Structure formats: C-alpha cells, structure tokens
Amino acid sequence: MKLISWNVNGLRAIEKKGFSDFLNNCGAEIVAIQETKAHPEQLSDALRTPSGWYSYFCSAERKGYSGVAVYTRQEPLNVWYGLGNEEFDKEGRTLILEYADFFFINIYYPNGGQGPERIDFKLRFYDCFLQKSKELFKTGKSVVVCGDVNTAHQAIDLARPKENEKNTGFLPEERAWLDRFFSEGFTDTFRHFNKDGGHYSWWDYKTGARKRNVGWRIDYFMIDEKSAHRLKGAGMLSEVMGSDHCPIWIEMDDL
C-alpha cells in the first residue's frame, strides 16, 4: 500500500499544473493534501469528486487560507474534521480517517511566523495533536500521521542549520517537540530508511532555492513504533513540480 502527502500551496493553482494526472497515475491508495487554500464549493468537479476516489475536505473559516484534503481509494469507516478544539479547528488543519486496522491523520501544522504569539499557537497545536494521537494509539489500531510539520527536526534536515538557529521552523522549542513526539512511540519513516543529508521537501520560491537544493525537510510521514515493521520504503518525489514543496511517500504492507 502506497501513501502520499503533498503541500500543494493551493489546490486550484496546482490543478492548472497537471494535478489530476498526478493523482490518477501516482499509484497511491491514499493521497493527503495540505494548504488547499479553498473551500469545496470553489473547486472543479475534477478536484472535488475525481472518478475512482473518495474525497474529503477540511477548510479554514478564512477563505484562501490553510485547508487539507484526502483522496482515498477505499471508503473509510469514519471521518473527523479537526482535533476537537475550536481554536485550532477553525483554521482547517486536520482530517482523521478511520479504517479497519488503522487511523490516518493528515495535518497542516501551523507556521510559527508573525512573532511569539504564533509560535505559542503552533506549540499548543502540537500538544493538542499529540494528545489526540495518543488517544488513537490506545485503541490498538495503527496510527499513520502525515503532513507539513513546518519544523525541521535535526541539523541534517535543512541545508543551512547554523543560519536558521533563531528562525521559526528550527527553533529549539520546536525541535524539542518533535523529540518528544518521537519519544512517545512514533517513528520518522524517512529516517527509518535514510540517514543521509541533502534530502529536502521544501525550497524557498523567492530565492530559487530548489535549483540549488537549498531546502528544508519539513514534510513527514510518521507511524507508531509497533507498526514500523510493516514499512517497505519511504521517500520524496523531488522531481514532481508545481509547488514549493514536493510530495513525500511511504509504502507499507496492507494494514
């Protein structure tokens, strides 16, 4: 079973860049999208109800902002829109799908830009998400989490760690939260297979950083440790263009 996650930086924008072809030819059972920047009624039929897929959308109250979507070949047993916290859920950042043997969580985590208040919001969002993950973990089902985490975990996860030590996305308190999350029994699937540097999932548009591969690894698939043995592979589709992020993927035995 192949799963894909991609921050598309605008679902309507990427439709014009061949997204439907990508969706139908990627070979995935589930495709999670972050930063849709749209409400369902603003989307074309091809995006809202693509043939062969079940589709779910969680949008922000503010139009043109945030938003997540999931396309899945198999209809889930249940779908939850948000974490159950109004402060966070009004930004349309979370979709949780339940299947027979696992929970699939697609999240667009907040960016810590715009000052200390937003960093505090981001860290409280992280904590709320961790609590929800632990609740799902206790059900006995596997838990698969994906999305744009908006934090690079370790120095190896960005091209210029020294220059960014005081910038959001690589602050000590943000990185410490990821330490905590993994210590709670979750696995970074990419690092499960690859310990090398130079692999990034986001590049700054304005500086043309992608051509020089001056990037950050801020998009993650994470899985509970008891299910990690089912992983068959994890990687990035860095050749896929259309966004300032590239898609990431995992492949695993059917759950």
Domain extent listing, the chain: 2-252
Question: Is the confidence at residue 10, as pLDDT, over 70?
Answer: yes
Q: 2-252, what's its fold?
A: Deoxyribonuclease I; Chain A (3.60.10)
Q: Is 125 exposed, middle or buried (0-12, 13-18, 19+ CB in 10 A)?
A: buried
Q: Are 236 and 199 in contact (CB under 8 A)?
A: yes
In this prediction, residue 101 carries a pLDDT of: 94
Q: For 106, left (φ over 0), alpha (ψ -120 to 50), or beta? A: beta
In this prediction, residue 115 carries a pLDDT of: 82
**Average pLDDT value for residue range 217-240:** 97
Tell me which of 148, 219, 224, 244 is the catalytic residue.
148
**Average pLDDT value for residue range 71-85:** 98
**Average pLDDT value for residue range 199-215:** 96
For 22-141, list the strands marked E by DSSP. 30-34, 54-58, 68-72, 78-81, 94-98, 102-108
**Average pLDDT value for residue range 199-221:** 97
Question: Is the confidence at residue 55, as pLDDT, over 80?
Answer: yes
In this prediction, residue 117 carries a pLDDT of: 94
In this prediction, residue 254 carries a pLDDT of: 80
**Average pLDDT value for residue range 189-199:** 97
Pairing state of beta strands 2-7 and 142-148?
unpaired
Band of pLDDT at residue 113, cut at 50, 70 and 90: confident
Query: Could you confirm whether 101 is annotated as catalytic?
Result: no
- Whether the predicted model's global pTM rises above the 0.85 cut: yes
d(CA 189, CA 245): 18
In this prediction, residue 146 carries a pLDDT of: 98
In this prediction, residue 255 carries a pLDDT of: 64
Q: What is the mean pLDDT of the chain?
A: 96
